[in-house]
Amino acid sequence: MYNFLVKNGQRLAFGLGLVIAVVFFVIASSGLDEFNMLPEEEQATTSIFNFGLSATLFLVFAAFVLMLGFGLWHVATNFRGSVKGLIGLAVLAIIFFISYSTASGEATGAIARAAEKVGGLTSNQLKFVGASISTVGILIGLATLGLIASEVRNFFR
């Protein structure tokens, strides 16, 4: 199965996406005249786009489940080869935990104005957002340092 998917997986995925897109186009275009005749406030209640939305959600969910399943299967069957990835995941979790623990949970400035527009955010939500932003900043910094270090190392080789 693995060899079959390596050889034909992209074609199958593209074909499935094409079939779903064509079916959605046929369904949506067959009811487009009635949709356009509806008043604008009633257009949100129509079911003309339900197939496309449902198919998209199903494909995203299926891709997520398959990605997670393949990852777990790979870790279970090749643990020694997966150690570096697991260590990286642990480092990422540690960086996020430290960022979350040190986040204030208070909204100030532009974040406070944005939080008011959406009806307010709890302290934990603000800490999560702050920790996520800090984690991304730290990862960008580490990636930049890694890039510089590899270029310097390659320069002296």
- Encode the chain (157 residues) as per-residue pLDDT tens digits: 778 888 998 999 899 989 999 999 998 888 888 888 888 877 778 878 888 899 999 999 999 998 999 889 888 998 888 899 899 999 999 999 999 999 887 777 787 788 778 777 788 888 898 899 999 999 999 999 999 999 999 999 8
pLDDT digit string, tens, across residues 74-95: 889 988 888 998 999 999 999 9
Cα separation of 9 and 59, whole Å? Answer: 15
Q: Which residue is associated with the tokens 């532009």? A: 110
Residue 140 pLDDT: 97
pTM of the shown model = 0.60
* Domain ranges, ordered by start, for the chain: 1-77, 80-157
Residue 96 pLDDT: 95
Residue 47 pLDDT: 79
Burial profile 137-155: b = 16 or more Cβ within 10 angstroms, e = fewer? eeeeeeeeeeeeeeeeeee
Residue 141 pLDDT: 96
Residue 123 pLDDT: 82
- Residue 15 is which amino acid? G
Residue 36 pLDDT: 81
Integer Rg of the chain from CA: 24
